Structure formats: structure tokens, C-alpha cells
Amino acid sequence: MTADINTILALTGSILGIFAIVFSLFAIAAVLRCKSRCLSVESSLAALRRELELASSISMKTGRRVRRVEQEHAGVAERIDSLELRGSVQSFDQAIDSARRGTESGRLAQQFGLSRSEADLVTRLHGRKKIA
């Protein structure tokens, strides 16, 4: 019986040893898969960093271009508003009629939304001639 118990213990120990070896092999394979996946993720992360840097660079360049365009065309909105205030050619016609009746250029500019130089020109061309 003692030989039987020793044999059973030896067999049980051998089986447990084999299971430990098999389990170790599976664990090693899992670790290798994890390492491979980690390297793949790190590679993807590096590619994403490069793309983010490129997008950031493009964004900065675009921002500078937008600011430059805004600076170059800052007065356009004011000029458009000024033109809209003037109305159509009819305001020039009315200004010419007023100048013929003797209205001064300052009053023309104020009344019809003309610039000072436009009002002066209308007055010179169409205003009453001063007799000296």
C-alpha cells in the first residue's frame, strides 16, 4: 500500500507539474500578445501625435492668414455701410439739386450721406456761382 500511495503522490505531482508548465506557456503567450498589442498601440499613438502636430500647424497658419485678411479688409465693412447709407444715385441727384439752390457742401454731406470730398465736388460742379 505504501508503494501505491507513493505512486499516487508521484503521479499527482507529475500531473500538477504538467499543468503548471502548460499554464506557464499560456501565460507567456498572453504576455507576448499583450506586448505586441502595446507596441501596436504605441505606434498608432505616435502616428496620431504626428497628425495632431500637422493639424495644429495648419490651424496656426490658417489663423494667421485669417488675421491678415481681416486686417487688409478692415475698412470694407465701413465702406459698405457708408454706401448703403447713401442710397442710390437718387441721393446724388438730390444733392445736385440742393447745390443748385445754394446749399453748402457741409450741409450736403450731412443731409445726403456724402463724404466731405464728394460734397465739395458736387458744390463746385453744380453749386451757384459766386459773384465777386
- Each residue's pLDDT, cut to its tens digit, for the chain (132 residues) gives 667 888 999 999 999 999 999 999 999 999 999 999 999 999 999 999 999 999 999 999 999 999 998 888 877 777 776 666 655 556 778 888 888 998 888 888 888 888 888 888 889 888 877 655
Characterize 8-21 residue by residue with b for buried, 16 or more Cβ atoms within 10 angstroms of its Cβ, and e for exposed: eeeeeeeeeeeeee
Cell numbers for 106, please give them: 457741409
pTM greater than 0.85 = no
Q: What gap in Å lies between CA 117 and CA 98, rounded to an integer? A: 16
Name residues whose C-beta falls within 8 Å of residue 61's C-beta, 6 or more positions apart in sequence. none
Q: What are phi and psi of 24, to 5 degrees?
A: -65, -40
